[in-house]
Structure 1
Amino acid sequence: MTTATSWAPLEIEAKGEGGTAELLSRLDGLEPGLAATLVKEKALVFRGFGITPGTLDTALDRLLPNRLAYVHGNSPRTKVGGNVYTSTEYPQEFTISMHSEMSYAHAWPSRLAFYCQIQPGTGGATPVLDAERWLAVLDEEVRDAFAGGVRYVQNLHDGYGLGKSWQDTFESSDRAEVEAFLKTAGAEWEWRRDGSLRVESYRPATVEHPVTGAEVWFNQADQWHPAGLGDDTAAELAQILSEDELPQSVRFADGSPIPAEYVAQIRDRGLEAAVDVDWCQGDLLLIDNVLLAHGRRPFTGDRRVLVAMSD
């Protein structure tokens, strides 16, 4: 069902010895500037500049003018610096399907920057996908079914259980602070007797890019749906928990279930249409989070990719 595409991220290679000075100089020389170039190209890959953990902050300060905390994030991550995180701690043998960062939330980052501190032994590419194309390759039946939006549900434990705790999710142990955030987000919530927190959020399935006006596929229904975990994992979870008890789940906005075959189509066609960005140590990848979705291919050996985000 997918068609070939010639699109690929713009690669910018160091011409001299690299380092942050050359990187910043190259950014200054971009016409018509970094912001406009990123919208035009959707993704920029910086290679050969030899960025190190010690010089990373300098590079990120230019690429991401206002680094954001990963508040309300659902992926398992560790904070390693000033709003810099491990990109994921999902087991290396599994594929992470395509998604736009925090598309389930009321507010999301406009840019993401990935940094390769340790390149993988084999595999481990970060696939990126034109989210407008992702929408286009889905069957009309699927697009129509999602037109009314989706309802995300999170069951966040109080320190022990499956998934993330509410303290880790919101980077706070203050209930009042969490409630203020959820109120601003337009979410519905309920504190349970065991100290856990249940959150329901209604979101659109597509959005328009604020600059280009392009309508893009912008939700994480396939990642929040049990069918997106694979048949074996979904079956094992079903024996332990009902859908309503899962750490995260999703339905259509009207409460009706999303068919498993829709989930498989969304996941598989997204991965098929993606373009892989392979990693070398010191590389940086900057993406427009609305125009592009991203994921991760399985890998062997060590791999350490950090991520930061900006509004």
Structure 2
Amino acid sequence: MAEESLFHEPIGLLPQQKSYDGVLFPIVLSPNPTHPTTVDLTEAIKANRTYIDTLLHRSGAILFRGFPVSSASDFNDVVESSGYEDFSYGVGGAGSRTKVVGRVYTANEAPPHQHIPFHHEMSHSPVFPSKLFFFCEVEPGKGGETCIALSHVIYERMEQKHPKFVQEMEEKGLIYSRVVGDESDHSSPVGRSWKEVFMTEDKTVAEERAAKLGMKLEWMESAVRVIIGPKPGFIYDEIKKHKIWFNGVVGRFEDKLNNDPSKAVLFSDGTPLPADVSDDCSKIFDEECVALQWRQGDVLLLDNLAVLHSRRPLITLPRRVLASFCK
């Protein structure tokens, strides 16, 4: 029996699934219904690591649906079974999250009514995870979809829509700034205090750690402005030979400390981005994304370079999605 026979690629299980050049996005894997026993996801992944890597490289996203994964501990076992090295969510991470067990964290703990814009995990840092796992422990009633989009598709469409902007972005690079408080604010998607972000209460140590991440700190009363960059707005994928959209142009968070979102992202020379760029990019994301309606037990594996993700507001509680990060 071929190892791949532990998995089944069902048709129509995910109606919003897309296809690019004949490759499905995301690829959906479920237990093979003809297998004589219950298919354990951890064992299936262990037996098919090369197969999984090939699918992930091809599509950028794999949804495992219908497997008996019910708890954070189960999810941690799934992550361990992948063989991917752990990426600890430590210095530099701005998202509010809590460690649950092993390599598992809560997904962003921002209030459920808030929209979390499209982003690559920790794209502002020189070191970021290469792969992400998400797990639905509690299925949401309504809303709360995790949306995913292919980075190179977004780049190509933005280059068609705003060629002058994309050229200028490539030539100049981008600078990001956000204000981080002395105390954590869990009402914000980027609400970790500077003490949590840099894992110290010493301002000098914080500045040293920030500098290693390419960040500059400007101290304010009861807060600090974190300036990141200049950073390129794209990355060239040497293997797939295309450019990917790797920036925070649409990263407008509801954050009371950052009272002027228009200054959150600037060209490296300090000039503002064209007024229509962010809105047009958001529209392209809406057109190209797959909005994943979570089912309890779902496990989603993403290539963090190839795919951006976001969260839609939750209309009906509860919802509990967990995350894990891999090198």
> Is TM > 0.5 for Structure 1 vs Structure 2?
yes
Aligned-partner Cα distance in 1 for 2:213–2:99: 23
Tell whether the 8 Å contact from 2:118 to 2:250 is kept in structure 1 after alignment: no
Aligned to 2:62, the other structure's residue is in SS state: strand
Structure 2 unpaired stretches of 5+: 1-17
Q: Which amino acid aligns with 1:35?
A: D
Q: Secondary structure at the match of 2:264?
A: strand
Superposed, which structure 2 residues align to 1:1-311 within 5 Å? 5-6=19-20, 7-15=24-32, 18=38, 22-30=40-48, 32-51=50-69, 52-63=71-82, 64-138=84-158, 139=161, 140-147=163-170, 148-159=172-183, 163-192=191-220, 194=221, 196-202=223-229, 203-209=231-237, 211-223=239-251, 228=252, 243=260, 249-299=264-314, 300-311=316-327
Q: Using a 3 Å threshold, how does the CA distance of structure 1 residues 103 and 195 change in structure 2: closer, same or farther?
A: same
Offset of 1:99 from its aligned partner?
Answer: 1.4
* Larger deviation, residues 78-87 vs 36-45: 78-87
Report how far residue 13 of structure 1 moved. Answer: 0.8
Give the aligned residue type for 2:67.
F
Per-residue CA distance 1:77-134 (angstroms, 9 max, x = gap): 2332334322122333343332111212222111110011101002322111010000
Q: Deviations over 1:189-208 (max 9, x none)?
A: 2344x463332121110012
CA distance in 2 between partners of 1:156 and 1:309 (Å):
23
Any conservation in 2 of the 1:70–1:83 contact (CA below 8 Å)?
no
Q: 1:290: how far off? A: 0.6
Contact kept in structure 2, 1:116 and 1:279, CA below 8 Å: yes
Partner of 2:208, secondary structure, is helix
Identity of matched residues, %: 27
1:283, CA displacement in angstroms? Answer: 1.2
Where 1:11 maps in the other structure, the secondary structure is strand
Instruction: Give the secondary structure class of the aligned counterpart of 2:89.
Output: coil
* 8 Å CA contact 1:132, 1:291 repeated in 2: yes
Higher relative contact order (CA 8 A, sep 6+): 1
* Cα contact 1:50–1:283 (8 A) shared by 2: no
Distance in 2, matches of 1:41 and 1:164, equals 33
Please tell me whether the aligned partners of residues 189 and 198 of structure 1 are also in contact (alpha carbons under 8 angstroms).
Answer: yes
Select between 169-178 and 280-289 the one with higher mean Cα deviation: 169-178
TM-score by length of 2: 0.79
Normalization by structure 1: what TM-score? 0.83
**How many residue pairs are counted as aligned between the two chains?**
292
